[in-house]
Structure 1
């Protein structure tokens, strides 16, 4: 929504991200994600221009929740919750209004971002029943800024079988005393689907790696058994790592 649609760029990924649970309204389960790709040589200039835009979002009190992530692959995810596909109209209406205000203020984002980046859009659905938060759902927080998104590209028609295995993972974690949590997002509208994005969060890469090693040490046999069941439903997979950017995010509960 830099100009008329890039106010929020990603992946996915998924986490890909979610809002903090509240009593009302209900937890959002759908998200539009803009993935923005920046050449490493342009990254310094992009950061400068993007900060200018962020300052204008705040100046004009843009009242849309935006969760922003920088990946280690020189891209950015801008994630916005929507109620449904109809919510896109509301989102782009507000974006257009914001763009008009920015131009009236003398800022032409089309010129500023020319040649700096390219984007693609994805709509994700949070798979509540396949995500795991034993102590209650929590949103993206500033104390767990490190994120890993694992993209699971499923074989066509294998979603139900893959979900059945994931539920076995949940059942097993319910039976042990471990602290691992995750979110799963499915690609509702995007590229190379069916695709799930599994999102993990931690304070930093070291903490996430330590937890992973502990789990493998204590539960390697069961994990191997479950993985053999799950992997037969996957075409390919890839991992993206990165960080939540609270200063480039808008209108979220900070914890």
Structure 2
């Protein structure tokens, strides 16, 4: 199945789950997120931007009523994050996909042709961990005005999830004790490669602002952070970090 068909599948996830469960999700934890990372060669970035903008414009024109959060990373890739309620009914999405694809083609957009050779895709499902996330101001996940994001992919040692969670809670206790407004979210990869894996997300208005905040805390609490890390690192296999920016023009919110 070609690239744009996969994108439609992901969008249909939102149409099938998010609209029907909007009120429930507002009252409960956000639950699962279908995450697609789309890799684009540097030489193809300009064409990808043009074609993707054309697709977004048509999505908006057709009013497909979906929720998609879009991000660009510093590594020539794009994240498409879509909230879902559960895994049930995904088979039905493949049947519905053809109808949406046909509607796009009837409006002059052949995704298979336009996106040909432009990107490669990896897919995963992640779950927001409210217990291990920290928001002293009560907000959670994407914060308004904070367009810079940094994701640390923490690959845990097999079987160390419980111990790593206890170590993460010590971070929360420490941050509460110093009264900081620094916040973060942790997502657990529940379907994807190289599990167990946590994704630690921090955000700010800019990378410079985030580094300034972190440097100031490190200067004041260096010894405390060293002890916290020594407690955590014994459960970690490796860490990879990516930087990115929220794309409001490519993001959508279901009514």
Alignment TM-score, normalising by the size of structure 1:
0.89
Equivalent residues in 2 for 1:1-255, closer than 5 Å: 3-7=4-8, 24-86=26-88, 88-89=90-91, 95-251=97-253
| Structure 1 segments unaligned to the other structure (5+ residues) | 10-19
Q: Distance in 2 between matches of 1:145 and 1:91?
A: 31
> Mean Cα displacement is larger for which, 214-223 or 244-253?
244-253
Q: Is the 8 A contact 2:154 2:239 kept in 1?
A: yes
How much does 1:247 deviate?
A: 0.3
How much does 1:94 deviate?
A: 5.6
Count of matched residue positions in the alignment of Structure 1 and Structure 2: 243
Aligned to 1:14: none
Q: Distance in 1 between matches of 2:35 and 2:41?
A: 20
Cα separation, partners in 2 of 1:169 and 1:210, compared to 1, 3 Å: same
How much does 1:114 deviate?
A: 0.4
| Structure 2 segments unaligned to the other structure (5+ residues) | 12-21
Q: Distance in 2 between matches of 1:240 and 1:248?
A: 20
Alignment TM-score, normalising by the size of structure 2:
0.89
How much does 1:103 deviate?
A: 1.0
What secondary structure does 1:235 align onto?
strand
How much does 1:217 deviate?
A: 1.2
Q: CA RMSD in A?
A: 2.2
